[in-house]
A and B are shown apart, each in its own frame.
Chain A
Amino acid sequence: MEQSPDTPRIGVDEWVASVEGKRERYTGLRGAVFRNWDRLPPAARVLVFAVPAAIFPFLTSQGNVFRYGLFTLVYALLALGLNIVVGFAGLLDLGYVAFFGTGAYLYAILASPQFGNHWQAEAAIPVVVIATAVVGLLVGLPSRRLLGDYLAILTLFFGQAFVVFVNNANRINFPFFGHVDLTGGSNGIANIDPFNFFGYKIDSTMKQYFLLLIAVSLLLILLMFVNESRTGRAWRALREDPLAAEVMSIPVNRLKLLAFVCGAAVAGLTGAIYGTIATAALPGDYDVGLLITIYAIMILGGFGSIMGIVVGAVIVSSVPELLRSSANARPLFYGAILVALVVKVRPWRLLAAEFGALVALGFGIHGIASAAYPRLVQGESIGSGAIPRALDHWMLYPRDAVKIADLAYIVLIAAIVVYPQLGRLWRAILLPPLLYLIMFVWENLLLLHIGGATRLILLGALLVALMNVRPQGLFGTATVEIV
């Protein structure tokens, strides 16, 4: 078995060999961790995630379990299901959230006062999962004929159609049944029953948390086996090159449909669970916003990387929650800028000079403004404590800042567009003013909208930046196209 890396092997090209060589080259602790991680059985790998997750609710309050725990796990389940379709099989499905919604609405119809049905969970869950899988099959059918981006737009339209449908399905006159209020329209379906397994009710946050944790862990183990299985390898072949896969006698169409069906089934199950958590199915919950969140998780984790997605879910669901208050948002934002500067600006003398210039610039501008245009310094920064009060003496806070801040925002975007085009010297000279402008916009505009638009602006910018730096995601493996 042991072969030296230098001898060529059949079927292994230079690139593969070099990657394998690299993996063996890591020495010391890092190498040992990498090597042993690959050797661990899937169940043991899941424990790395499951054990801290199981301890988490006992360390914190009920509210935190609800805010962070439940949503992280729901997102993780959704992203893992989407990973089957996008990460494994490489089919860009932008209507995925509609399957999630289908699951929630189906469960709501089976177990809520809407139609007076109160099914037991052990009967309702299989029905919901199978029905959602069938919907997935129907949506996936056109995928046999569609190439890449066409599928994306078709599924995006499907997702949109789902929202329109549930929003208006309370006033449809069906051909044979007459008028039926199917989905409650924009009011949704309220008072969904908790899961009731043979009389055991999953009705508290704690029970729901552990139900989700079990579901995520089982799915993780399952996906790890699938990833190494015949089907998993065929999916990856399909993702890398559908044509080559077909030539290798892989049943491409059947595998595409299978991916769609599996993804939809996971989404349906998650939808049913989410329905019991939210106790209502509302059309607004299944719109583009959630789709973007799930994609952000999958991208951050890396396409096709199973454990990476769990990490992505933790980051994406907790960071925006932390950003909700300005007390948390400010250190996070400045910390991120600081890290970027330390990474980007070399040598350290230049970095120190830039910082010095920034501080001096701030005092200079503040001094001039308070002497000549007092209106520019009459406001004050958000928050209490030493840092905001210190900022009052350094940063400009105009009295009604709205117009100036809007203008500054547009100037800032233009400046960020122009800045990378400049030469080295100009970039070094203009860095402090640019930083000051960023901080001005942040303090006077973005921080005020931290609960709404700002978080999504940052998310959008982050996606673009991440794709520029690491197109394969944080934990994904880079693919090399060999022509």
Chain B
Amino acid sequence: MNWSLFFDLTVSGLTLGSLYALIALGYSMVYGILKLLNFAHGDVYMIGAFLGWYALHALGGPMNPTFTGAVVLLLMFVVAMLGCGVLGVAIERFAYRPLRNAPRIAPLISALGVSIFLQNSALLIFGAAFRDYDTFDLIGVKTYNIGNLFFSVPQLLTVVAAIGLMIALTVFVARSRLGKAMRSTSFDREAASMMGIDVDRVISVTFFIGSALAGAAGVMFALVFGQIYHFMGFIAGLKGFTAAVLGGIGSIPGAMVGGLIVGLAESYATGYLPQGSTFQNLYVFALLILVILIRPSGLFGTAQIQKV
């Protein structure tokens, strides 16, 4: 067994997995409350990556930044997360809120419309070319190792930041007043509104948090993998949703575990399975079908009992 390959794959799998987990959280939270598949979520992630790029260049670019690398990084995250959060709230306000009581398929189509709109607006403004964060110019090329386990600074940063965000989210949902309101809205929207919870506000906050996490994931992706382009949100959104479904949609720990599973599976498939680098998406897809067929409600999901 070639251990160094295994460790490399594990590190890149964990990095990818934390990205997918962050995206999956947005899907999962929105689905938990609205029972709505937010197709535009992947494109919010793409916008986040571009906002980070613009913040970077507004601050002097990767070669001679205005502040030290760490401050610039922090500001990039802040800009991307705030921008995406506001975008998410606006999307909810325009595309989903008027359709609360429409047939189930209408908000899905509307989400598809938002997705096309965002993708092509990005194409219009950012152009079709790939853009690069030039991370190595910004924070150096240092790699660290523990024995055979090599990782670069962006990879470490991604995993640590993702874990930090997830812990913050878990604490927020478990402890704060608003988190409690979110849980009860997710449990039963009508009952929650009868108990004096402002459901519209809770939904807006959910969209803000979910989209901000996606924005952070967009910046992290660009830091680790460099290249960003207008169509990057589609496949990442699919993977994020796969992660959410694997973990059990609506469950926050489920989304995190699901993300890590999808990331690791993709990484190992690339390394070990026949023609994995071409067909890694197909292998992830096969995994999804397998899990859904065995446990339709996902790993952490509770089986829904439909009462009439």
The finding on whether chains A and B are genuine partners in a shared complex, rather than unrelated, reads: yes
Given A148-B104, A460-B117, answer yes or no on A153-B123 (Cβ-Cβ < 8 Å). Answer: no
Residues of B contacting A152 with CB < 8 Å? 37, 108
In angstroms, Cα B285 to Cα A271, docked, is 25
In angstroms, how far is the closest chain A Cβ from the Cβ of B175? Answer: 30
Q: Given A164-B281, A299-B109, A453-B124: A464 and B238 within 8 A (CB)? A: no
The binding surface of chain B is classed by DSSP as helix
Contact for A464 among B101, B104, B114, B281, CB less than 8 A = B114
- Does B75 belong to the interface (CB within 8 Å)? no
Known contacts A157-B285, A471-B103, A463 near B110 by CB under 8 Å? yes
* Interchain CB contact under 8 A, B116 and A142: no
Given contacts A92-B108, A160-B235, A303-B105, contact A460 B293 (CB under 8 A): no
Across the interface, do B110 and A409 meet the contact criterion of CB distance under 8 Å? no
Using CB atoms, name the residue of chain B closest to A407.
B125
Report B123 CB to chain A, min CB distance, Å. 4
Say which residue of B90, B103, B107, B113 sits within 8 Å of A460 (CB atoms). B113
Size bracket, chain A contacts? 35 or more
B62 to nearest A CB, angstroms?
A: 21
Q: Which residues of chain B from 287 to 308 have any CB-CB distance to chain A below 8 Å in the complex?
A: 288-289, 292-293, 296, 304, 306, 308
User: How many B residues touch the partner, as a band?
Assistant: 35 or more
A400 contacts partner chain B, Cβ-Cβ < 8 Å: no
User: Chain A interface mostly helix, strand, loop or mixed?
Assistant: helix
A53 CB within 8 Å of chain B? no
Q: Find residues 446-461 in chain A having any chain B CB closer than 8 Å to their own CB.
A: 446, 449, 452-454, 456-457, 459-461
- Restricting to B190-239, which residues have a CB under 8 Å from any CB of A? 234-235, 238
A464 CA / B119 CA spacing, docked (Å): 14
Return chain A residues, CB-CB under 8 Å to B78. Answer: none
B120 touches A460 (CB 8 A): yes
The answer to whether B112 has its CB under 8 Å from any CB of chain A is: yes
The answer to the question of A154 belonging to the interface, with a C-beta cut-off of 8 Å to chain B, is yes
Check A463 against B112 for contact (C-beta < 8 Å). Answer: yes
Interchain CA distance A463-B123 in the complex, whole Å: 19
Q: Which of B99, B117, B245 contacts A150 (CB 8 A)?
A: B245
Known: A409-B121, A445-B124, A464-B117. A153 touches B99 (CB 8 A): no
The verdict on A165 contacting B99 (CB below 8 Å), with A146-B292, A154-B288, A406-B125 known, is no
**How many angstroms between the C-alpha atoms of A453 and B120 in the bound complex?**
5
A residues less than 8 Å from B116 (CB atoms): 292, 456-457, 459-460, 463
Are B103 and A467 neighbours in the complex by a CB distance under 8 Å? Answer: no
Least distance between A481 CB and chain B CB atoms (Å): 8
Q: Is the CB of B90 within 8 A of A417?
A: yes
Task: Please indicate which of the listed interface residues B104, B110, B116, B289 has the most CB atoms of chain A within 10 Å of its own CB.
Answer: B116
- Bound Cα distance from A417 to B234, whole angstroms: 24
Whole-angstrom CA separation of A152 from B105 in the bound complex:
11
Q: Which of B110, B234, B289, B293 meets A467, CB within 8 Å?
A: B110
- A161: contacting residue among B102, B275, B281, CB under 8 A: B281
Contact (Cβ within 8 A) A292 B112: yes
Minimum CB distance partner of B31 in chain A:
A149
Q: Is A472's beta carbon under 8 Å from chain B?
A: yes
Whether, in the assembled complex, B160 has its beta carbon less than 8 Å from a beta carbon of chain A, the answer is no
Q: Does B147 make an interface contact (CB < 8 A)?
A: no
Nearest CB of chain A from residue B294's CB, rounded to whole Å: 10
Quick check: is A349 within 8 A (CB to CB) of the other chain? Answer: no
How distant is the Cα of A151 from the Cα of B275 in the complex, in angstroms?
A: 27
What is the CA–CA distance of A288 and B37 in the complex, to the nearest angstrom? 17
Does B68 interact with chain A (Cβ within 8 Å)?
no
CB distance A468 to B98 under 8 Å? yes
Does A248 interact with chain B (Cβ within 8 Å)? no
A218 at the interface (CB under 8 A from B): no
Complex Cα distance, B292 from A147, in Å, reads 11
- Given contacts A409-B125, A457-B120, A462-B113, whether A467 and B99 have CB atoms under 8 Å apart is yes
- CB within 8 Å of B: which A367-421 residues: 406, 409-410, 413, 417
Q: Render B243-267 as a binary contact track against A, CB cut-off 8 A, 1 for contact.
A: 0010000000000000000000000
The residues of A that contact B235 with a CB separation of less than 8 Å are 160
| B109 x A467 contact (CB < 8 A) | yes
- Taking a contact as CB atoms closer than 8 A, the residue among B37, B241, B293 that contacts A142 in the complex is B293
- In the complex, whether B156 has a CB less than 8 A from a CB of chain A is no
Are A472 and B103 within 8 A (Cβ)? yes
Q: How far is the CA of A153 from the CA of B260 in the complex (A)?
A: 19
| Identity of the chain B residue whose Cβ is nearest the Cβ of A168 in the assembled complex | B278
Whether B106 lies near A157 (C-beta < 8 A) is no
A168 touches B279 (CB 8 A): yes
Of A295, A446, A454, the contact of B112 (CB 8 Å cutoff): A295
Q: Which residues of B contact A461 (CB under 8 A)?
A: 113, 117
For the complex, give the distance between the alpha carbons of A92 and B285 in Å. Answer: 18
Judged by a CB distance under 8 angstroms, whether A145 is at the interface is yes
Residues in chain A near residue B124, CB distance under 8 A: 406, 409, 445-446, 449, 453-454, 457
Question: With A and B bound together, what is the CA distance between A138 and B242 in angstroms?
Answer: 20
**What are the residues of chain B within 8 A of A156 when measuring CB–CB?**
238
**A417–B124 CA distance with the chains assembled, in angstroms:** 19
* Per-residue contact bits, chain B 57-77, to A (CB 8 Å; 1 contact, 0 not): 000000000000000000000
Write the nearest CB–CB distance from A470 to chain B, whole angstroms: 9
- Could you tell me if B110 and A153 are in contact, using CB atoms closer than 8 angstroms? no
| B94 interface residue per 8 A CB criterion | yes
Q: A145 and B292: CB pair below 8 A?
A: yes
Closest chain A CB from B30 CB (angstroms):
11
Nearest A residue to B114, CB-CB: A464
CB pair B238–A150 under 8 Å, yes or no, is: no
In the bound complex, how far is the Cα of B292 from the Cα of A142, in angstroms? 8
CB-CB < 8 A to A148: which residues of B? 104
Q: How far is the CB of B266 from chain A (nearest CB, A)?
A: 13
A410 with B125, Cβ < 8 A, contacts A153-B238, A461-B117 known: yes
Complex-state Cα separation, A171 to B274, whole angstroms: 12
- On whether the beta carbons of B107 and A467 are closer than 8 Å, the reply is yes
Nearest chain A residue, comparing its CB with the CB of B105: A92
How far is it, in angstroms, between the C-alpha of A292 and the C-alpha of B282 when the chains are bound?
22
CB within 8 A of B99: which of A168, A243, A471?
A: A471
Q: Which 6 A-B pairs have the closest CB atoms?
A: A463-B113, A460-B117, A460-B116, A471-B106, A471-B102, A467-B110
User: Mind listing 16 A-B residue pairs with CB under 8 Å?
Assistant: A90-B105, A92-B108, A157-B238, A173-B274, A406-B125, A410-B125, A417-B94, A449-B124, A452-B123, A456-B120, A460-B118, A464-B117, A467-B102, A468-B94, A468-B110, A471-B102
